[in-house]
Structure 1
Amino acid sequence: MIVERAYAHVTEGEASGGRWPWSMPCVRQLLEEGLTFSAPVTFLVGENGSGKSTLVEALAEGFGLDSWGGSAGYKYASAREPSELGARVRFEATAAGRRMLRGSRTRRRGFFLRAETALDALGREQTTGRLSGAVDEMSHGEGFLMAFRERFEGPGLYVMDEPEAALSFSSCLQLVGLLHHLGRSGAQIICATHSPVLTALPGAEIIEVGDHGMRPAEWRDLELVYHWRRYLNDPWAYLRHIVEAE
């Protein structure tokens, strides 16, 4: 593993008035308690708007990963400034993590892949010769898998925001295999996702994000697993409320 705990501090004046992102329950909990990581692979799950994407972006920024997506270090990064939260994130790290954090940003190893900006980030990686294929000559999902195979390797911090957005079921299974291998090799992965396929990875830590803040959860108890299982068993139990309403 690379980091054991993430935390952030702001003044009372900055956090007052219900201003975003300090008003989000998960961010308030990060400020008050921090976020502890107990496994090489951590999944953040929750509804849209729960704050999981805000968290993973801030964690990536705090580690020095390109906030627009891409590798560690500024040489190949976009010009985007870190978010208010990302600029304040700090880590309690393992020995390997401390070596990266105490050195120059180019010594940090990792990658941030966010679904919305992945093609732009991968295009920049391609121009530096860090990818073997041309992103604009393959499908969105193929580009994601190429990045996973070629840029997710070795000890480092790998942060992902909804990587399943471009992946088929079989491609999600390939990603599960890669995450398992990465976690065993000394790397650390933090992933925001809606996927019951990814979150089923054995040994992974799952943190449920919502109005309650953040809390550990078991895969079988996740609301997303319950609803997917029920929907696949009987789609009409859900669709009748939508179709009949129209």
Structure 2
Amino acid sequence: MHYIHSIRNTKPIEDRIAYPFNIDSILNLNELRFRSPVTFIIGENGSGKSTLVEAIAINAGFNPEGGTKNFNFHTKDSHSELFNDLQVIRTAFREHDGFFLRAESFYNVATEVDELFSEEKEAILRDPDKENALSELYGGSLHECSHGESFLNLMHKRFSGRGLYLLDEPESALSINSQFRLLTRINQLVNNKSQFIIATHSPILLAYPDSEIYTVSEFGLQQVEYEETEQFKLYKYFLNNYQKMVTELGLNE
């Protein structure tokens, strides 16, 4: 299932001067089509992948700091203005759920959820028959569990399917086993008519079958096969040659 068909950079090439167009991958991005329910965007730190996912999320109606389309809290502006120049072309289908998970500002999202919990508890005290909806949606306070557990609780409890989910480095708080669990959850949601756009460094997540992987480069975005990614090749080389790598890095000196 697709809810976003493609994105286009509407800014004329001669006007692509200031940030974030000083990033080569953003400067040379013209159009990107989404053909798979799961699309990964990969690249080095500072290469523009998170900037791009963030701009797509904002343009699709999500809070810049993360959360659902109903979240409107504001802590500090850290997003670029790329969303103003990005056109999101939608399909004829409309999602019934959605979330922008931004690892960098997830603490702010968890805090907002806790504040909503407090408001709900006060409302229940006034009216005991009122539904405890937020506890059902989020499985409790996201601050009352570890960072990784809060990520997984969010994806298992809050993500309900038939949704558009944009994730920025979701592996940042997850162990290897938890990344396996995330892969399983992604598959469950894809089978329930969901679309994912994910910026990641994880070779584990990139192994999701039939996904599309785009690497950001000085030429824009280029599609690559899983075993051609640096994530796969470097992790494989390190695991097969870790003693040599340790020596080459000067760690034995």
> For the superposition of Structure 1 and Structure 2, which TM-score range results when normalised by the shorter chain?
0.7 to 0.9
Is 176-185 or 125-134 further displaced after alignment? 125-134
Query: Displacement, 1:244?
Result: 5.2
Corresponding residue SS for 2:166:
strand
Distance in 2 (alpha carbons) for counterparts of 1:163 and 1:118: 10
Residues 103, 168 of structure 2: 8 Å contact kept: yes
2:4 is aligned with what amino acid? V
Distance in 2 (alpha carbons) for counterparts of 1:5 and 1:159: 14
Distance in 1 (alpha carbons) for counterparts of 2:13 and 2:178: 45
Q: CA RMSD in A?
A: 2.0
Q: Does 1:50 align with 2:47?
A: yes
Match of 1:8 in 2: 9
Distance in 2 (alpha carbons) for counterparts of 1:23 and 1:171: 36
Is 76-85 or 224-233 further displaced after alignment? 76-85
Question: 1:174-227 CA distances to partner (integer Å, 9 max, x unpaired)?
Answer: 110111122222211000000010000001111111223211111111111010
Taking every aligned residue pair, what percent have the same amino acid on both sides? 35
TM-score scaled by structure 2? 0.84
Residues 47, 210 of structure 1: 8 Å contact kept: no
Match of 2:231 in 1: 224
Residues 4, 37 of structure 1: 8 Å contact kept: yes
Matched pairs, number: 231
Residues 72, 109 of structure 1: 8 Å contact kept: no
Distance in 2 (alpha carbons) for counterparts of 1:12 and 1:165: 34
Corresponding residue SS for 1:228:
helix
2:194 is aligned with what amino acid? A
Q: Does 1:72 align with 2:60?
A: no
Match of 1:111 in 2: 99
Distance in 2 (alpha carbons) for counterparts of 1:232 and 1:39: 30
Distance in 1 (alpha carbons) for counterparts of 2:251 and 2:155: 42
Residues 209, 215 of structure 1: 8 Å contact kept: yes
Runs (5+) with no aligned partner, structure 2? 117-133
Match of 1:20 in 2: 19
Query: Displacement, 1:10?
Result: 2.2
Q: 1:161 aligns with which of 137, 145, 168?
A: 168
Corresponding residue SS for 1:121:
helix
Residues 97, 159 of structure 2: 8 Å contact kept: no
Q: 1:95 aligns with which of 92, 96, 110?
A: 92
1:78 is aligned with what amino acid? F
Query: Displacement, 1:137?
Result: 1.7
Distance in 2 (alpha carbons) for counterparts of 1:225 and 1:193: 12
Q: Given the superposition, is the C-alpha separation of residues 83 and 49 from structure 1 closer, same or farther in structure 2, using an over 3 Å criterion?
A: closer
Runs (5+) with no aligned partner, structure 1? 101-107
Q: Given the superposition, is the C-alpha separation of residues 15 and 245 from structure 1 closer, same or farther in structure 2, using an over 3 Å criterion?
A: farther
Query: Displacement, 1:126?
Result: 3.9
1:90 is aligned with what amino acid? Q
2:9 is aligned with what amino acid? A
Q: 2:147 aligns with which of 140, 145, 152?
A: 140
1:53 is aligned with what amino acid? S
Distance in 1 (alpha carbons) for counterparts of 2:234 and 2:13: 39
Residues 27, 55 of structure 1: 8 Å contact kept: yes
